[in-house]
Amino acid sequence: MELLMTGSAANPSGPRWLLAHAALVFGFLYLPIAVLILYSFNGQGVGGFPPQNLTLDWYRTLFGDGAIWDSVLNSLWVAFAAMAISLTFGIPAALALDRSQFPGKALFRRLVLLPLILPGIITGLSLLMLFNLDMVATVLKWITGQRLSLLTITLGHGTALISVATTEIFAGLQKLDRAQEEASLDLGASYWQTFWRVTVPNLKLPIIGAALLIFTLSMDEIAVSFFLIGRDNTLPLEIWGRLRRGITPEINAVSTIIFIFSLVTIVFWYRLRVRSEGAAEVGTELIEPAEDEA
Interface with other proteins by CB under 8 A: which residues?
177, 179-180, 182-191, 193, 197-198, 201-202, 204, 278-279, 281-283, 285-286, 288, 290-294
Nearer to other proteins, 28 or 102 (CB): 102
> Rounded to the nearest whole angstrom, what is the least distance from the CB of residue 101 to other proteins in the complex?
12
> Rounded to the nearest whole angstrom, what is the least distance from the CB of residue 184 to other proteins in the complex?
7
Nearer to other proteins, 134 or 277 (CB): 277
> Rounded to the nearest whole angstrom, what is the least distance from the CB of residue 269 to other proteins in the complex?
18
Count CB atoms within 10 A of the CB of residue 237: 19
Nearer to other proteins, 142 or 192 (CB): 192
Burial of 177 (C-beta count, 10 Å sphere; 0-12/13-18/19+): middle
Nearer to other proteins, 81 or 203 (CB): 203
The interaxial angle of helices 204-219 and 150-175, nearest 10 deg, is 150
> Rounded to the nearest whole angstrom, what is the least distance from the CB of residue 266 to other proteins in the complex?
23
Cite the DSSP H helix spans in 57-149: 57-64, 66-99, 105-117, 120-132, 134-144
Nearer to other proteins, 145 or 278 (CB): 278
Rounded Cα distance between 214 and 30, Å, is: 23
Three-class DSSP category at 42: strand
Rounded Cα distance between 233 and 241, Å, is: 9
> Rounded to the nearest whole angstrom, what is the least distance from the CB of residue 183 to other proteins in the complex?
4
Rounded Cα distance between 232 and 225, Å, is: 11
Nearer to other proteins, 141 or 178 (CB): 178
Q: 121 near 223, Cβ under 8 Å?
A: yes
Alpha-carbon Rg for the chain, nearest whole angstrom, is: 24
> Rounded to the nearest whole angstrom, what is the least distance from the CB of residue 43 to other proteins in the complex?
52
Nearer to other proteins, 25 or 286 (CB): 286
Rounded Cα distance between 15 and 291, Å, is: 45
* Plot region of 189 (φ>0 → left; ψ -120 to 50 → alpha; else → beta): beta
User: How far out from the chain centre does Cα 21 lie?
Assistant: 30
Three-class DSSP category at 229: coil
- CA distance to 92, 221, 242, 261, per residue, from 32 (Å): 40, 20, 20, 17
Nearer to other proteins, 61 or 180 (CB): 180
> Rounded to the nearest whole angstrom, what is the least distance from the CB of residue 281 to other proteins in the complex?
5
> Rounded to the nearest whole angstrom, what is the least distance from the CB of residue 264 to other proteins in the complex?
25
Residue 89 contacts by C-beta under 8 Å, 6 or more apart in sequence? 158, 162, 165, 166
